Amino acid sequence: MRDTASSPLPFIDLQAQRSRISDQIDAAIRRVLDHGAFIMGPEVTDVERQLADRTGAAHCLTCASGTDALILPLMAADIGPGDAVLVPSFTFTSSAEVVALRGATPVFVDVDPQTFNIDADSLKSGLRAADSAGVTAKALMTVDLFGQPADFDPIREIADEHGLWILDDAAQAFGATYKGSSLGTLGRVTGTSFYPSKPLSCYGDGGAILTDDTELYERMKSVRVHGNGGGSAEAKCLGLTARFDSIQAAILLEKLKIFDDECEKRNVIAQRYSEGLSDVVQTPQLIDDVTSVWAQYTLVSEQRNTIVETLAADSIPTALFYPLPLHIQGPYRNYPVAGNGLPVTERLANQVVSLPMHPYLEADAQARIIAAVRTALAS
Ligand SMILES: Cc1ncc(COP(=O)(O)O)c(C=O)c1O
């Protein structure tokens, strides 16, 4: 066991994971170097099959990033000018960026104060805001923030009533379940990210799209490679270079072998945090019948800045996800917002703080973090 009494702690410890499987990863990379199929090699097909099997989705299409995993479906579904997509403002930039990049209109909605995920009532006022702005709501984007699924049942009711399709941004939540179903099957399309800090990650950029919609899958496959016509030299549509590469797929295949174990460890760590802190601060709440992959463990406190400073003085890193709501940031400031502003999002931006979270966080290091948070809150 390392001496953790005062040494700096990592926020996410990728090296601990690497030391567990370094021989396997090195061998997997070497296999790709030896066969030389760097683009669309056998590892890519293999990982797509495994991700589809794991989730129960009919199709998986890997791609170059989590952002591509969101823009490819929008391109394939021809979402563009005059169309609106309802998006929470309390999320990472990509969720709204892809909509704006398409020339469509992101309409910002608020989130639930306990789960940080889309608030169904705010969706209804988002629809009114889209109407007032003269754009047609075509889709909504659920974001499964910090690893917990959005509450799909009430959201789907609204989506069905208004003819919207659901694009699920599961960048932070691959592996989580909602009422027994895996993310990947809850929206018409689900996008995820394998960015190194994500619960399931590679050693670079990467992402994947899951869907049961065969027609859309075929179109996304074409968009992934410049509108490639599958054998024909003529482009079928505009596209991108958005492939996942074979070395990253090989790495992901090795990481998938330990992923379930890592998710269990994340759950134990989240539970320990909650036991150590829920009497003094707002700790994360899961809704009934979901599992989380705990991409982040995020507290809400009016003393957020004191927590950050106290932990920093003890060499414990923290992170703020997200200190600036999207709807107030430059590129998004002129898009419609549900209701009279987004009070929950704006409050959370000033009060959230995420603690170190990874499967290899040892109990003594975690006790030190918990003690430091309690000290901060007592000051
Ligand atoms: C909620 C969310 N959506 C989308 C993305 C984009 O993923 P990537 O960085 O792989 O493009 C991220 C990544 O941080 C994210 O957290």
Domain 18-253 has CATH 3.90.1150.10: no
Structure-token pair, residue 180: 């027994």
- For residue 157, how many other CB atoms are within 10 A of its CB? 12
Residue 166: which of 176, 158, 175 has the closest Cα? 158
Reading the chain (379 residues) residue by residue, the pLDDT tens digits are 444 567 999 999 999 999 999 999 999 999 999 999 999 999 999 999 999 999 999 999 999 999 999 999 999 999 999 999 999 999 999 999 999 999 999 999 999 999 999 999 999 999 999 999 999 999 999 999 999 999 999 999 999 999 999 999 999 999 999 999 999 999 999 999 999 999 999 999 999 999 999 999 999 999 999 998 777 888 999 999 999 999 999 999 999 999 999 999 999 999 999 999 999 999 999 999 999 999 999 999 999 999 999 999 999 999 999 999 999 999 999 999 999 899 999 999 999 999 999 999 999 999 999 999 999 999 8
Say how far apart CA 82 and CA 230 lie, in whole Å. Answer: 31
Residue type, 356: P
Report CA(210)–ligand 1 centroid distance (Å).
15
Report CA(234)–ligand 1 centroid distance (Å).
32
ω into 178 cis (within 30 of 0): no
Q: pLDDT of 237-293, one tens digit each?
A: 999 999 999 999 999 999 999 999 999 999 999 999 999 999 999 999 999 999 999
Say how far apart CA 201 and CA 14 lie, in whole Å. Answer: 10
Lining residues, ligand 1, CB within 6 Å: 65-67, 91-92, 94-95, 143, 169, 171-172, 193, 195, 205, 207
Structure-token pair, residue 249: 């797929």
Structure-token pair, residue 64: 């170059």
What SS3 state is found at 138?
strand
Domain ranges of the chain: 18-253, 259-378
* Fold annotation for 259-378: Aspartate Aminotransferase, domain 1 (3.90.1150)
Q: Helices 42-55 and 246-277 sit at what angle, rounded to 10 degrees?
A: 40
Report CA(19)–ligand 1 centroid distance (Å).
26
